[in-house]
A = this chain, B = another copy of it.
Amino acid sequence: MIETDPDMRAVEATLFASDQPMTVEQIRGYVGDSVDVSAALTQLAAHYQGRGIEIVQRGKAWHFQTAPDLAHLLRREREESRKLSRAAVETLAIIAYHEPVSRAEIEAIRGVQISKGTLDVLMEAGWVRPAGRREVPGRPLIYATTPGFLTHFGLNSRKDLPGIADLKAAGLLDPIDSAMGDMLFTGEESDSELEINENNA
């Protein structure tokens, strides 16, 4: 029976323990001259055929490896969700409202430069793709959203995005003014102090 063949066992163990692919001569250095290493390797290779692991020859050297069709098992995906940065959200919004748009145009609209990583993140997320080049001097890359973007945000088309007027109506457009309003409101409180003085008067 194959399992009890001592030569094959020796070759199998030697090749398994080695951290390098081994030639027949190198294996023989461990298992001894009396062993027909080539024959043992051929038999082993046949024996492992169709198994989860296999013995293969690369050039003159042999090694063990896992069966190539099982490679997908050995990589396990772990999802890790992360919040998009402020810059990325703004960049995505600009692309969505103005597409196709170049990087320079995005920066002009944002009023701030964007770092290289920002667009990469949006592309990694699958929401933005390069959409050709603008036919102007320098032929800059232009960017647009993907179908994945629409799916993620539950949109049928980009036309579903609320317009500026809608945003204004929803109070989403003027965060600065409303902040000012808050300050005036707290300002009135101090007025009442004055009133007390008046009443005293």
The residues of A with any CB-CB pair to B shorter than 8 Å are: 3-4, 8-14, 16-17, 29-32, 49-53, 64, 66-67, 70, 73-74, 76
Known A16-B64, A66-B16; judge A10-B50 contact (CB<8 A): no
The list of the 6 closest CB pairs from A to B, nearest first, reads: A12-B52, A13-B52, A9-B52, A13-B66, A3-B50, A13-B70
Query: Looking at chain A's contact residues, is the secondary structure mostly helix, strand, loop, or mixed?
Result: helix
The answer to whether A3 and B49 have CB atoms under 8 Å apart is yes
Min Cβ gap A93→B in Å is 28
With a cutoff of 8 Å between Cβ atoms, the chain B residues found around residue A16 in the complex are: 52-53, 64, 66
The answer to whether A50 and B13 have CB atoms under 8 Å apart is no
List 11 interface pairs A-B (beta carbons < 8 Å), by A numbering: A3-B50, A9-B67, A9-B70, A12-B51, A12-B53, A13-B66, A14-B70, A14-B73, A16-B64, A17-B66, A30-B74
Known A50-B3, A66-B16; judge A29-B74 contact (CB<8 A): no
Task: Tell me, in angstroms, the Cα distance from A13 to B70 when the chains sit together.
Answer: 7
Task: Tell me, in angstroms, the Cα distance from A49 to B14 when the chains sit together.
Answer: 17
The residue of chain B having its C-beta at the shortest distance from the C-beta of A70 within the complex is B13
The answer to whether A30 and B64 have CB atoms under 8 Å apart is no
With a cutoff of 8 Å between Cβ atoms, the chain B residues found around residue A12 in the complex are: 51-53
Known A3-B49, A3-B50, A52-B8; judge A67-B13 contact (CB<8 A): yes
The residue of chain B having its C-beta at the shortest distance from the C-beta of A35 within the complex is B73
Task: Tell me, in angstroms, the Cα distance from A13 to B32 when the chains sit together.
Answer: 29
